[in-house]
Amino acid sequence: MSQHKYTLDIISETGLLGAKPAAFPMEQNHTLALVKGAEVSDLERYHCLIGRLIYLAFTLPDLANSVHILAQFMQCPRQEHWDAIVRVVCYLKGTPGQGLLFTSACDLSFTSWFDSDCASCPLTRRSLTGWIVFLGCSPISWKAKKQHTIFRSSTEAKYRSTTAVTLELKWLKTLLLDFGLADIFTKALGKEKFIYLLHKLDIPFIPAPT
């Protein structure tokens, strides 16, 4: 699953078809939250590009952190923020066909990874939570989000990240149970769901021998 054409449209509309691709989307140890340079002249253009990158991040987990950071400056973006968003687009130029691959070769079990960056926001001192959930070998859910409260230790911040990913896993498990094949054996179903589950059971039509 990729958004190849959508990515190329973003690169083209930003005027970066001839730009040099970036190897990664955002510089380390940036100070974007503290910049006080000139404001972006075209505010609508910044908003539009952020919106398109948020949509693109639905299939690109590697954009989650950089888009999360740049979306915080929607009210009053500075030139440094625009330069950072241009770098993200230059990163996309090097990977326009990148996306997700869902394969049936792996077991349908959940695996999750999570972390926190304690007090990473220089303005609010709030921590950042990041997690990703795999179903088998395929990523199906991920998020980079600033935590709501301020914690005094990295242990507290990691505990909040643990809680966030646990809630997501619980919801995903409930969702998959709602799609369970066993429903066809335990209750009368409507036509649409019955046919859907029958297809999932892979019961073929076998013609009578002639």
Decide: pTM greater than 0.85.
no
Contact 137, 78 (CB under 8 A): no
End-to-end CA distance of the chain: 43
Q: Which two tokens stand for residue 124?
A: 């609010």
What's the rounded Cα separation, in Å, for the pair 155 and 118? 9
Q: What is the pLDDT of residue 188?
A: 86
**How many Cβ atoms from other residues are within 10 Å of residue 148's Cβ?**
9
Q: What is the pLDDT of residue 179?
A: 66
Least Cα distance to 179 among 205, 201, 207 occurs for: 201
The helix-helix angle for 79-94 and 4-13 (nearest 10°) equals 140
pLDDT tens, residue order, the chain (210 aa): 889 999 999 999 999 999 999 999 999 888 888 888 899 999 999 999 999 999 999 999 999 999 999 999 999 999 999 999 999 999 999 999 899 888 877 777 889 999 888 877 777 778 888 989 998 888 989 999 888 888 778 888 888 889 999 999 999 888 877 767 677 778 888 898 888 888 777 766 667 666
Name the DSSP letter for residue 126.
-
Q: What is the pLDDT of residue 132?
A: 93
Q: What is the pLDDT of residue 204?
A: 67
User: CB neighbours of 106 closer than 8 A, spacing ≥ 6?
Assistant: 136, 137, 138
Q: Which two tokens stand for residue 9?
A: 């449209």
Q: What is the pLDDT of residue 210?
A: 65
Q: What is the pLDDT of residue 116?
A: 86
Name the DSSP letter for residue 118.
T
Q: What is the pLDDT of residue 189?
A: 84
Least Cα distance to 112 among 165, 59, 65 occurs for: 165
